[in-house]
């Protein structure tokens, strides 16, 4: 049973570890663009593959009914992105998934869990000028680690006169590293920029599961089990979304759904967020030590040059 649980969870985590939630906009050289987003994701379980148990009473009262068909989890992600020369940019990514207290996985099962992710993305952009759509290739690596505990009750009729019941405590743990690539096509239509594309990632690591059940009957001993699964199958994804370009900030919403592997069309993530474009660079302007501008580019040349012994100012836009 625990081997089934760890193997099924491994498939969903392999997909989840490859998600990047990147807004599609090109980040120009010497620009800095942080963004933050909130979302939800789904990790499915294939109850049809639940194993046949040796305990006949548990088969008569299916133990698979104790487990949910999926886990839906909240997620928060942040990027710190900087523009590079040659129409490229680099980003660091941090994400956290923490379930609320007494989170209901099913009507009979509660769970508490946390998963963290750290990663990096390197992107290269083409086209995007003269009414051509923007083509973006991203290479990413993410490390995901976390745990999930769950509690429920089992209740099985052993004989006509004896009912077997008791608490069940389980724990899931994972440590996964993903390597992936995404190809996104986007086009600006005024303040709206729709985008779509696809990606694939390959995850390495492991997922483990353990369970302990305490029986209320002196005739039936307590039982426990554990299982472990690795990650080997690449996960393909379809990515669609839209960005909205406002005066000071940009907002975006995007979704990713798995399109290859065992969980195709079942595992998905939806994310919405906001990004803040800044300009950082060295330019000559006047005698002030630093200037803060809210809009527009700093001019390349200014008639009033600072004295030779005054260092060039820093501009932030």
Average pLDDT over residues 184-199: 92
pLDDT by residue (tens digit) across 145-172? 988 887 777 666 555 555 666 777 888 8
Evaluate the CA torsion angle 24, 30, 31, 35 in order and state its sign.
positive
pLDDT by residue (tens digit) across 283-313? 444 444 433 443 344 444 444 444 545 444 4
In angstroms, rounded to a whole number, what is the distance separating the alpha carbons of residues 17 and 242? Answer: 22
Full set of structural domains in the chain with CATH = 2-280 (2.40.128), 283-317 (no CATH)
List beta partners, residue 63. Answer: none
Joined together, the tokens standing for residue 200 give: 């694939």
pLDDT by residue (tens digit) across 25-69? 888 888 888 999 998 888 887 777 766 665 555 555 556 666 777
pLDDT by residue (tens digit) across 75-87? 889 999 999 999 9
In 3-state terms the chain splits into helix, strand, coil percentages (rounded to 5) of 10, 55, 35
Per the model's pLDDT, the better-predicted residue between 118 and 233 turns out to be 118
Q: The whole model's pTM is what?
A: 0.76
CA torsion 22-24-26-31 (nearest 10°) is -40
Q: What is the mean pLDDT of the chain?
A: 78
Q: What does the pLDDT read at residue 58?
A: 52
Query: Which 3 state secondary structure label does DSSP give 249?
Result: coil
pLDDT at 9 over 80: no
Average pLDDT over residues 278-286: 57
Query: Which 3 state secondary structure label does DSSP give 255?
Result: strand
41 contact partners, CB below 8 Å, separation of at least 6: 16, 19, 72, 73, 75, 97, 267, 268, 269, 270
Query: Which 3 state secondary structure label does DSSP give 109?
Result: strand
Q: What does the pLDDT read at residue 157?
A: 59
pLDDT by residue (tens digit) across 233-248? 788 999 999 999 887 8
Q: What are the residue ranges of helices labelled H in the chain?
A: 2-16, 56-60
Closest CA to 12 of 268, 199, 307: 268
Q: What does the pLDDT read at residue 233?
A: 79
In angstroms, rounded to a whole number, what is the distance separating the alpha carbons of residues 22 and 125? Answer: 13
Could you tell me the pLDDT band of residue 271, with boundaries at 50, 70 and 90? very high
DSSP letter assigned to residue 189: B
């Amino acid at each position: 049973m625990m081997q089934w649980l760890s193997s099924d969870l491994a498939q969903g985590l392999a997909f989840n570890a490859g998600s990047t939630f990147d807004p599609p906009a090109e980040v120009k050289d010497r620009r800095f663009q942080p963004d933050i987003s909130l979302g939800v994701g789904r990790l499915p379980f294939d109850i049809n593959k639940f194993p046949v148990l040796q305990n006949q009473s548990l088969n008569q009262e299916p133990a698979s009914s104790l487990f949910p068909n999926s886990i839906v989890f909240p997620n928060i992600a942040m990027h710190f992105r900087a523009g590079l020369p040659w129409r490229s940019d680099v980003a660091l990514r941090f994400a956290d998934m923490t379930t609320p207290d007494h989170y209901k996985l099913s009507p009979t099962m509660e769970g508490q869990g946390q998963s963290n992710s750290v990663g990096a993305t390197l992107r290269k952009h083409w086209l995007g000028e003269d009414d051509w759509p923007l083509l973006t290739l991203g290479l990413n690596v993410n490390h995901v680690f976390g745990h999930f505990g769950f509690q429920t009750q089992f209740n099985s009729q052993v004989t006509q006169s004896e009912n077997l019941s008791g608490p069940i405590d389980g724990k899931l743990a994972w440590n996964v590293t993903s390597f992936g690539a995404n190809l996104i096509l986007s086009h600006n239509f005024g303040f709206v920029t729709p985008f779509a594309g696809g990606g694939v990632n390959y995850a390495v690591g492991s997922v483990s599961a353990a369970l302990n059940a305490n029986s209320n009957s002196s005739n039936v001993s307590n039982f426990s089990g554990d299982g472990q699964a690795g990650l080997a199958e690449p996960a393909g994804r379809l990515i669609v979304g839209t960005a909205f370009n406002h005066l000071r900030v940009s907002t975006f919403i995007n979704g990713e759904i798995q399109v290859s592997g065992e969980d195709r069309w079942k595992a998905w993530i939806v994310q919405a967020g906001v990004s803040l474009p800044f300009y950082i660079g060295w330019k000559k302007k006047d005698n002030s030590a630093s200037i803060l501008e809210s809009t527009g580019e700093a001019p390349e040349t200014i008639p009033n040059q600072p004295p030779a012994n005054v260092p060039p100012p820093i501009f932030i836009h």
